[in-house]
Amino acid sequence: KEEIIALYLNYFDFLHNAVGIKTASSTYFYKDPKNLTLEEAATLIGLCKNPSLFNPVRYPERCRERRNVVLDQMRKAGYITDEQYHKSCDQPLTLNFHRNDHKDGTAPYLREFLRVYMSAERPDRSKYPSWNKRQYVLDSIAWDTDPLYGWCNKNFKKDGSPYNLNADGLKVYTTIDSRMQRYAEEAVYGHVARYLQPEFFKENKGKPNAPFTSQLTKKQVNQIMERAVLQSERYRILKANGASDEEIHKSFHTPTDMSIFTYHGDVDTTMTPIDSIRYVKSFLRAGFMSMDPTTGAVKAYVGGLDYTHFMYDMVTGGRRQVGSTIKPFLYSLAMENGFSPCDKAPNVQQTYMVAGKPWTPRNASHKRAGEMVTLKWGLAQSSNWISAYLMSKLSPQQFVQLLHDYGINNPDIHPSMSLCLGPCEMTVAEMVSAYTTFANHGIRTAPMFVSRIEDNEGNVITNFQPRMNEVISEESANKMLVLLKGVVDGGTAGRLRYKYNFTGEIGGKTGTTNRNSDAWFMGFTPQLVSGCWVGGDDRDIHFDSMRMGQGATMALPIWAYFMKKVYRDKTLPYDPEAKFDLPEGFDGCAHKAEDDMEYGIDEVYE
Same domain, 113 and 76: no
555 in a structural domain: yes
Mean pLDDT of 441-446: 98
165 in a structural domain: yes
The C-alpha atoms of residue 81 and residue 371 are separated, in whole angstroms, by 94
| 3 state SS of 376 | helix
pLDDT tens, position by position, 525-577? 999 999 999 999 999 999 999 999 999 999 999 999 999 999 999 999 999 99
Q: Which residue type sits at 153?
A: N
Same domain, 408 and 510: yes
In this predicted structure, which of 93-102, 370-379, 595-604 has the lowest mean pLDDT?
595-604
Mean pLDDT of 78-84: 95
Mean pLDDT of 65-90: 95
Q: Which residue type sits at 255?
A: P
258 in a structural domain: no
Residue 5 burial (C-beta neighbours within 10 Å; 0-12, 13-18, 19+): exposed
Residues of the domain holding 478: 285-450+472-568
Q: Which residue type sits at 570?
A: K
Same domain, 13 and 120: no
The C-alpha atoms of residue 355 and residue 167 are separated, in whole angstroms, by 56
Residue 274: pLDDT above 60?
A: yes
The C-alpha atoms of residue 260 and residue 270 are separated, in whole angstroms, by 9
CA distances from 238 to 243, 253, 271, 281 (A): 5, 14, 18, 22
Closest CA to 554 of 507, 512, 604: 512
533 in a structural domain: yes
Whether 63 and 55 have beta carbons less than 8 Å apart is answered as yes
Quick one: pLDDT at residue 354?
83
The C-alpha atoms of residue 530 and residue 290 are separated, in whole angstroms, by 4
256 in a structural domain: no
131: Cβ–Cβ under 8 A, 6 or more apart, which residues?
A: none
Same domain, 123 and 47: no
Same domain, 28 and 152: no
Quick one: pLDDT at residue 100?
65
Same domain, 356 and 490: yes
Quick one: pLDDT at residue 102?
65
CA distances from 131 to 134, 135, 136, 294, 463 (A): 8, 9, 10, 37, 37
DSSP structure string for 143-211: HHH-TTTTHHHHSB-TTSPBP-TTTS--EEEE---HHHHHHHHHHHHHHIIIIIHHHHHHHHTT-TTTT
Quick one: pLDDT at residue 305?
95
Same domain, 429 and 496: yes
DSSP structure string for 79-121: SS-HHHHHHHHTS----------TTSSS-HHHHHHHHHHHTPP
Closest CA to 51 of 8, 22, 18: 18
116 in a structural domain: yes
Same domain, 83 and 145: no
Dihedral of alpha carbons 600, 601, 605, 606, sign:
negative
The C-alpha atoms of residue 31 and residue 373 are separated, in whole angstroms, by 65
CATH code where residue 54 lies: 1.10.3810.10
Same domain, 367 and 308: yes
Domain end marker among 33, 57, 89: 89
Closest CA to 453 of 199, 163, 103, 144: 163
Same domain, 137 and 24: no
Count other C-beta atoms under 10 Å from residue 443's C-beta.
18
Report the domain count for the chain: 3
44: Cβ–Cβ under 8 A, 6 or more apart, which residues?
A: 14, 21, 24, 25, 28, 36
pLDDT tens, position by position, 41-55? 999 999 999 998 999
Residue 9: pLDDT above 80?
A: yes
218 in a structural domain: no
Same domain, 164 and 306: no
390 in a structural domain: yes
Mean pLDDT of 393-413: 95
Same domain, 22 and 129: no
At 132, is the pLDDT very low, low, confident or very high (cuts 50, 70, 90)? confident
Q: Which residue has the higher pLDDT, 291 or 31?
A: 291
Quick one: pLDDT at residue 604?
45
Quick one: pLDDT at residue 606?
36
Whether 574 and 466 have beta carbons less than 8 Å apart is answered as no
pLDDT tens, position by position, 297-340? 999 999 999 998 999 999 999 999 999 999 999 999 999 999 99
Q: Which residue has the higher pLDDT, 169 or 300?
A: 300
Mean pLDDT of 276-290: 97
At 13, is the pLDDT very low, low, confident or very high (cuts 50, 70, 90)? confident
Average pLDDT, the chain: 93
Whether 45 and 70 have beta carbons less than 8 Å apart is answered as yes
Whether 113 and 313 have beta carbons less than 8 Å apart is answered as yes
CATH code where residue 444 lies: 3.40.710.10
HSE, CB side, 13 Å, CA atoms: give it for residue 223. 6
